[in-house]
Chains A and B, each alone.
Chain A
Amino acid sequence: MMIIAEHLEQTYRSGDTALTVLRQVDLTVAPEEFVAVMGPSGSGKTTLLGLLAGLDTPTRGTVRLDGHDLNRLSEDARARLRAEKVGFVFQTFQLIPTLTALENVLVPIELRGAAGPAALHRARELLDRVGLAARMDHYPAQLSGGEQQRVGLARAFAGEPRVLFADEPTGSLDAETGATVIDLLVALNRDARTTLMLVTHDPALARRARRVIRLAAGAIVSDTPADTA
């Protein structure tokens, strides 16, 4: 299994009030599986994604990512694991404003300390693949939303991840641009044979997944193949 989550629970405390965002989540994801996570705002989708990626430690429960028990790893060790095996696509693109498109794509590779001509070649190839060959030296502010997200896609695949987490990748885009981005995401994913976990509101997007998990109030309410969604 690529991902095994057991009895996951997450509670945030602010002052005297405690807010439980996830409760008793059990989940397994196989290699190369394409899973869509759906649910209303505040149902805990992003938190689940974050815990699976080791961005935070759960209040209770365990996560195994590609065989590693995340609870047993330090924050830096989890970061190293992400640098080697995990890719991310964000709703708000999250490009670094001071870096060019090409430099943004290079970041995951460079964080791993693997920069070099081969990495540069791969980053160029990816940008070419998402149709931005001519805009590699532009800064994020000089790119449209769709273009920025395409840079985001190239960056997500740059490190050749085993797992890709996408958090509403089309949430900030209009329908047409969103569709282009999704086509690219699916195509890149198929070629790279990456495990893909995608959080979305968009039923059309969810239908392209093999499996759909629905969350409500922090708990899984259904986990079905996409066809029956």
Chain B
Amino acid sequence: MSGRFALVMAWRESRGNRRRLMLTVTAVSLGVAALVAINSFSADVTASVRSQARSLLGADVELRSRAPFPDSVAAVLDSMSRAGVAVARVTSFASMVLAPRTGVTRLFEIRAVDGGFPFYGAVTTAPPGRWAELATRRGVLVDTAVLVHLDARVGDTVTIGEARFEIAGVVTSSPGEVGLRAALGPRVFLPARYLPDTRLLRFGSLARYRAYLRLPDDAAVQRFLNQHNALFERHRIGRDTAAEREDDLADALGRLARYLGLVGLAALLLGGLGVASAIRVFVRDRIDAAATLRCLGAATRVVFGIYLAQAVALGLAGATLGAALGIAVQALLPLVLRDLLPVDVAMTVHWPAVLTGLAIGTGIAALFALLPLLDLRRVPPLRALRRDFDADPRRRDPLRVGVYAVLAAALVALAMWQAPSRGIGAGFAAAVALTTAILWLIATGLVRATRRWFPTRARYVVRQGIANLFRPQNQTVPVVLAIGFGVFLIATLYVVQRSLLDQLAVDARPDRPNLVLFDIQVDQREGVAALVADRLTAAPSLTPLVPARIAAINGRVVDSILADTTGRGPSRWALRREYRNTYRDTLVASEQLVAGAWWHGVQTRGEPWRVSVEQDLAAELGIGVGDAIRWNVQGVPVDTRVASLRRVDWARFEPNFFVVFEPGVLEAAPQTFVLLARAEDPGRRAELQRDVVVAYPNVSVLDLTDVQRTLDRVLGQVALAIRFMALFSVGSGLVILIGALRASRLQRLREAALLKTLGARGRQIRDILLTEYLTWGSLAALTGVALATLASWMLARWVFEIAVRIPVLGLAGIWGAVCLLTVAVGLGTGREVLRATPLRTLRELSE
């Protein structure tokens, strides 16, 4: 009975306010939209990965090695091939490619392919059908970026090593690849039978060797892998199956989606704050009505029910709007993430994601609305007679504490559900609480400071505009908080991205090299050095590279350490990898000694040779100063002792090393050289590259400014996705702003009419509003930027370990954009305030 009354009253009570209230709950809509979109999209991607699983790998099994397959493995592959299994080999390495017609040369990835790879999925080319022709034609296919870089076109001839090929066409898409891939490392596809002609694979060349097999079914895949497991293990051959690739990819993309979802969740929570603040204003308007109802005999819980029902209905409406919007955004996401996705994503509406979004949105809106609604339970009936009679504000409401507890629990539960793992979820919940707390502190601090250091000498319109921020029942802090959070995300991202790129900016640092020449053979080093020295003023520096593996540590051979699976031994990766060591007698600029002593003078004969190990690697291996390492240098054992540990600044494009030997022992070992040089002029750099390639085709030249541009693009892509999600937070802030402006509409109209009556001109009213919105935007931007500066400083210092550089101009740009947005939204919402004629407004308002 009372429940029905509450519902009926709720319906009647909301008449006339529905539109205004609707606006306030749309604050949760954007958050719901973000969640629905990202979770539906994630389901889409997983489905696409599952359906395109085999073409992701192009085969059923992949074998890979950093060295050519040993005879024993090659024999296995040959026998498989004889047994009718399709086997293909792909060898990839980096090499210079020269286009003689344009004279341009550049480093690209060369892929030597044979045997009809890929077995699943199709490589499309322009002109069409050229992939299949590779089997019969002496030509190469290239990624579009290769043509762009070389300024070449299909039909041109290119020189790779000591051989020449015709560019037969362009690869437009290949299965299982991320769009960004082709831009990152543009490739040249070469028929494997012509690989020897290039004479490129020499000692020390970094190449990857892969073999692909097509097997009838999963059982055959397992049988094959089990049968040869020991052999592959012994020769350090990596294995991957289509099923594993599918799982890995689904996991990785799911993880990405979940991280992005967390940003959406943050937007939703901010929307919740907006709802709380809007409902607080609503409750204040409704206190008299509630008192009257109480006077007329309605029970507390009925009165409370009337307004709670309205809040839940509004929450549901807001969430529904959000879910609908989310489905639209879902269609947009593939465009934003296009270059990061390895599969074509078909869009379908995922009802579980939509319904979950609806439930979460409604729940969050209702929970946040509860806080102010609780006040209605304590409205004394006497207030209907005496307006100034109020409930005792000091009495603690135990229910309020309960609501806060439920809110906190909901936040943690939601974060854990959305995050890739529970730990990340809990961390996120803590981070949100902390960020909100700090943002709230900054926002209230700024608002208070503005009030305290009020520009009393400023023009009247300025003072009035700022004073407007403190009007009764103002929502300045929630608006500043919500927009500030969005600004914080965007600005942090921006500063970190800038700092990372800045660290790698070779152009701006005249002391850093911008050209790296590698794979220089022993007999070529003088010639190459002379060639470079001839063309550049600065003397180039040569660094030797000696490949080696660890044979034993402190007398224990690696295989026995690896076989010991009890306890936490040294990392397998560190034990098994091939090291590229160097030798020299001094420390370089990017290194710092942290333990032991650097070597001086010559080692006594018979003692082990001294090496210096990078500190993190030493930790991985579980060794320190004084420990013994036996190296296998191309079959020759070399005994060493750790003489020192170093810290290395890896974030520099310079040859840095895990292990440095003292001079005197590796000079005779097979080795290659790296040469660093710097040429300011791009034309000079291009010329140098061409001359080196013509004289020494096997030597590769890396132009670091290209690498930097590529990184710029990758970071930009990732940042774009996060920024897109952060926009939802800014959007929520703007919706709250609109809600706040609408809530104070009557006040504003009355004030504008009054000021006009007192003689204010239209321009003066506009200037007052402009000042108010500008201040609003500035406070929000300042709040976000302040926290972003702090956060990026911490990220740069402890996560990326780089120097942070605050891009003042860029941040000022963000500030300007936020101000522009708030002013546009404010003036858009407040048009009627400007237009109001005083008499009519005063008449209407007094009615």
Contact = CB atoms under 8 A, between A and B. Distances in A.
B634 interface: no
B762 A75 contact: yes
Contacts of A76: 761-763
Chain B interface category by residue count: 20 to 34
A55 B763 contact: no
A110 B837 contact: no
A96 B754 contact: yes
Contacts of B468: 98
A86 interface: yes
Contact of B759 (A12, A46, A111): A111
Interface stretch (B648-656, B808-816, B839-847): B839-847
A88 B839 contact: no
Interface in B462-486: 463-464, 467-468, 470-472
B837 A55 contact: yes
A119 to B, nearest CB: 11
Contact of B471 (A55, A98, A107): A98
Contacts of B464: 96, 98-99
Contacts of B837: 55-56, 75
A125 interface: no
B226 to A, nearest CB: 79
B461 to A, nearest CB: 8
Contacts of A96: 464, 467, 751, 754-755
B843 A110 contact: no
Contacts of A155: 758
Given A55-B837, A96-B754, A108 B759 contact: yes
A110 B460 contact: yes
Given A99-B464, A107-B460, A115-B460, A79 B759 contact: yes
Contact of A88 (B750, B751, B757, B764): B757
A50 B756 contact: no
A127 interface: no
Contact of A107 (B472, B755, B838, B840): B755
B405 interface: no
A79 B460 contact: no
B760 interface: yes
Given A97-B472, A99-B464, A82 B757 contact: yes
Contact of A47 (B750, B756, B762, B839): B839
Interface of A: 12, 46-47, 50-51, 53, 55-56, 75-76, 79-84, 86, 88, 90, 92, 94, 96-99, 103, 106-108, 110-112, 115, 141, 155, 159
Interface of B: 460, 463-464, 467-468, 470-472, 747, 750-751, 754-764, 837-840, 842-843, 846
The 4 closest A-B pairs by CB, nearest first: A83-B759, A110-B460, A50-B839, A55-B839
Given A96-B464, A96-B751, A108-B759, 15 more contacts: A46-B842, A47-B843, A50-B839, A56-B839, A79-B756, A79-B759, A79-B762, A82-B757, A98-B464, A98-B468, A98-B470, A98-B471, A103-B463, A107-B755, A159-B759
26 contacts: A46-B842, A55-B756, A55-B837, A55-B838, A55-B839, A56-B837, A75-B837, A79-B756, A79-B762, A82-B758, A82-B759, A86-B759, A88-B758, A90-B754, A94-B750, A97-B472, A98-B467, A98-B468, A103-B463, A106-B460, A108-B758, A110-B460, A111-B755, A111-B761, A111-B764, A159-B759
